[in-house]
Structures are given as C-alpha cells and as structure tokens.
C-alpha cells in the first residue's frame, strides 16, 4: 500500500468523514453575516476551534479541510491548529485553489485558479502538518452549459494540481461540483455530472496521477433546486451510484460527497441510502461544510458563550453522518 493510499484510507475508513471548514474569508463572512456575527479573524477562529475540540472529532472526523487563515492560527491554548487536529486522530488538510474566476471566452462559466506558485505553497502547508488538499472546480447546468471549454479546462487544472500535490506527498481531493442551481432534471444532473467526472479522470490518467492516492469529492445526483420534478431519496441513491459506476475508475479508494446546499437531514438520509445500496468497492462518506455546521453555527450565534451546547449539536450531526456513511442511520436515531 502506498503512503498516499494509507492517508486516504485513514481519512475515509470506519464511517469517518471530512469536516469541510475551509470557507474562504469571503464565504465565511456571508455565513457569519447570516447569523449576525461580525466576521473577525477571532470569531472565525473561535467557532472553528469549538468544532475542532468536540468529542466527535475522535470517532467521526477523519480529516478537516482548513483555509489558509486557519492553518496559520493558534488555539486559545496556544497550540497550532493543525497540531490540535492531528491530536484528535484526524488528518489536517488545506484548500489550495484560489477561487473560481470568470472563464475567458465563456463569461457565464468559471475556471478555478491557483496553479501559479502552488508547488511552493504546498511545501509550506506540508511543513505546517497538512497531509491532504482540496481544489474545487465548479460547473452550472443550463441548456448550453457546462460547455466543453469549461469541462476541459477545469479537468486539466484539477489534474495539474493533483500531480503537484502528490509530488509533495499529500492526497489531493478532486472536487468537480456540478451545482444544484436551476430547473434541470435529475437526469440532466446525472448526464452532466458523469460527463464532467469522466473528463476529470481522462486528464488524471494523461497526467499519470496515482489514482489510489486521491479522494473524489462529487455532488450527489439531484434535480435542480428550481425543478418541479424532484426525485425520491431512493432515486437519488440509485442515480448517484449509477454515476459513480459509469465514471469513476475502480482504483480510486473513496468518494466523499459535498452537501451542496442540501439540508442537514437530506444530506444525511441520501448518504445513508447510497451506502445501504452501495454495490461498488468504493468507501463512500461525507465531506460536508454546511450540512455539518449549519445548526451548530446558528446555536452558537445565539449563545456565543455556550461552547458545550454548540459542541453537542456538532457532535450529533457528525455522529448521524458517520452512521449514514455506514448505512446505519435512521430517523429514530436522528430524533432520539
């Protein structure tokens, strides 16, 4: 087993999943604004540190994706944040793309940037303790999109990123997110997501990326959020598994889904059914941002001194997601 494969398995095995706490300062400011908390560096750290010192870190969270600001911060007990995470048994990770910018020649689409100077930044993050990384490409569905141009250029960037990350002995998370925004059908989502993922693997193979040392972070297959034809959770599960089977090579050790705007319960229930019906060899788990943090953030914003209460809410969410990653979640356990 390669060193990279071992890291990937450590993050994903036994129902563990990933806490995506890598919101950029811009995104985190939107999240904090929505609950009327000033987005200062201290507040961003306090909320995140509260999650990182929760009980469920040990049994549920295999990896935490950090943002550049956080990986350089120290906790209230003066411990560097990546060390604080490693001590719980979870692997520290880092978002390394520098964001999605307007794609030249297709201004309604985005291309993710961040390759310039990446090799040097990766070395710095490795020294700080990171052992995995994240890069997100983003695609929207309309009649015209995603265009071949956006699919090819984002897949190419993801492959170049992956090679640099593996060269630096870290596991790249490859995140091609097909957004749920729009009125498209679930079958449109299935077709477009499959096309995007297939193209990503074609590029990864051309670049000779070690597929046993990556983690794929895709969206689930859902109807658009403005579609009148929503599908059942069972159908989400079967279409999502169909997508993985038709587009992901079998060497890939695991899949960690993003939540992408699903509610906490929806994201948990869908993951549970996907695992119940999982007839692949992939480990299938979560890499959730909003679907792990939303309720905890809301509670914290209203009870800013009640860190234990905030942790209790996060612990429950993490436990439910970890049950779902093993196909063992139920509504009864959720409401107990």
Least Cα distance to 242 among 215, 214, 212, 278 occurs for: 278
**Residue 179: CB minimum distance to ligand 13P, A:** 10
Q: Which stretch binds ligand 13P (CB under 6 A): 106-114, 151-159, 204-212, 289-297?
A: 289-297
d(CA 309, CA 104): 47
Question: Under the criterion CB under 6 A, does residue 290 sit at the interface with ligand 13P?
Answer: yes
Question: Under the criterion CB under 6 A, does residue 289 sit at the interface with ligand 13P?
Answer: yes
| Residue closer to ligand 13P (CB basis): 98 or 105 | 98
Question: Under the criterion CB under 6 A, does residue 259 sit at the interface with ligand 13P?
Answer: yes
**Residue with the two structure tokens 């705007």:** 261
**Residue with the two structure tokens 């695992």:** 275
List 10, 95, 217, 319, catalytic entry: 217
d(CA 168, CA 172): 10
β-bridge pairing 106-112 and 100-103: antiparallel
Kindly write out the interface string for residues 134-153 of this chain, putting x where it contacts ligand 13P by CB under 6 A and - elsewhere: --x-----------------
**Helices and strands, number each (H, E), in the chain:** 14, 10
Coil, helix or strand at residue 292: helix
Least Cα distance to 140 among 105, 106, 104, 174 occurs for: 106
Mention every residue, 6+ apart, whose C-beta is less than 8 A from residue 174.
Answer: 135, 158, 162, 200, 204, 214, 215, 216, 217
| Residue closer to ligand 13P (CB basis): 175 or 203 | 175
Reading phi first (left if > 0) and then psi (alpha if -120 to 50, else beta), residue 241 is in alpha
Question: Under the criterion CB under 6 A, does residue 258 sit at the interface with ligand 13P?
Answer: yes
Q: How many residues bind ligand 13P (CB under 6 A)?
A: 10
**Residue 290: CB minimum distance to ligand 13P, A:** 3
Q: Which stretch binds ligand 13P (CB under 6 A): 125-133, 226-234, 287-295, 315-323?
A: 287-295
Q: What angle do CA 160, 164, 170 make, to 5 degrees?
A: 125
The partner residues of 175 in beta bridges, in order of sequence, read 136
**Residue 18: CB minimum distance to ligand 13P, A:** 8
Give residues 229-248 in contact with ligand 13P (rule: CB under 6 A).
Answer: none
**Residue 217 is a catalytic residue:** yes
With CB atoms as reference, the residue minimizing the distance to ligand 13P is: 289
Question: Under the criterion CB under 6 A, does residue 311 sit at the interface with ligand 13P?
Answer: no
Kindly write out the interface string for residues 80-119 of this chain, putting x where it contacts ligand 13P by CB under 6 A and - elsewhere: ----------------------------------------
Q: Which stretch binds ligand 13P (CB under 6 A): 234-242, 243-251, 286-294, 309-317?
A: 286-294
Kindly list the catalytic residues.
217
**Binding site residues, ligand 13P, CB under 6 A:** 20, 136, 175, 258-260, 288-291
């Amino acid at each position: 087993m390669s060193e990279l494969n071992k890291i990937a398995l450590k993050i994903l095995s036994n129902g563990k999943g990933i806490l995506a706490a890598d919101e950029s300062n811009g995104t985190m400011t939107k999240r904090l604004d929505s609950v009327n908390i000033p987005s200062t560096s201290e507040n961003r750290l306090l909320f995140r540190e509260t999650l990182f010192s929760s009980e469920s870190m040990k049994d549920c969270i295999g990896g935490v994706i950090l943002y550049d600001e956080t990986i350089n911060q120290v906790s209230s007990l003066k411990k560097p944040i990546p060390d604080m995470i490693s001590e719980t048994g979870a692997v520290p990770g880092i978002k390394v793309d520098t964001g999605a910018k307007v794609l030249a020649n297709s201004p309604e689409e985005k291309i993710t940037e961040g390759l310039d100077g990446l090799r040097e930044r990766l070395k710095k993050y490795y020294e700080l303790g990171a052992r995995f990384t994240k890069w997100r490409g983003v695609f929207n569905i309309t009649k015209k999109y995603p265009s071949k141009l956006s699919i090819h250029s984002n897949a190419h960037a993801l492959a170049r990123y992956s090679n640099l990350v593996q060269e630096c002995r870290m596991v790249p998370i490859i995140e091609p997110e097909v957004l749920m925004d729009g009125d498209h059908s679930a079958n449109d989502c299935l077709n477009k997501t499959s096309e995007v993922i297939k193209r990503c693997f074609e590029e990864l193979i051309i670049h000779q990326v070690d597929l046993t040392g990556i983690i794929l972070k895709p969206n689930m297959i859902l109807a658009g959020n403005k579609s009148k034809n929503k599908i059942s959770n069972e159908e989400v599960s079967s279409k999502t598994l169909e997508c993985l089977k038709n587009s992901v090579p079998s060497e890939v050790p695991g899949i960690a889904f993003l939540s992408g705007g699903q509610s906490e319960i929806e994201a948990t229930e869908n993951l549970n059914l996907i695992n119940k019906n999982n007839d692949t060899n992939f480990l299938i788990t979560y890499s959730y941002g909003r679907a792990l943090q939303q309720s905890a953030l809301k509670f914290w914003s209203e009870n800013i001194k009640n860190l234990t209460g905030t942790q209790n809410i996060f612990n429950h969410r993490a436990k439910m997601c970890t049950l779902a990653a093993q196909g063992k979640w139920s509504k009864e356990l959720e409401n107990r």
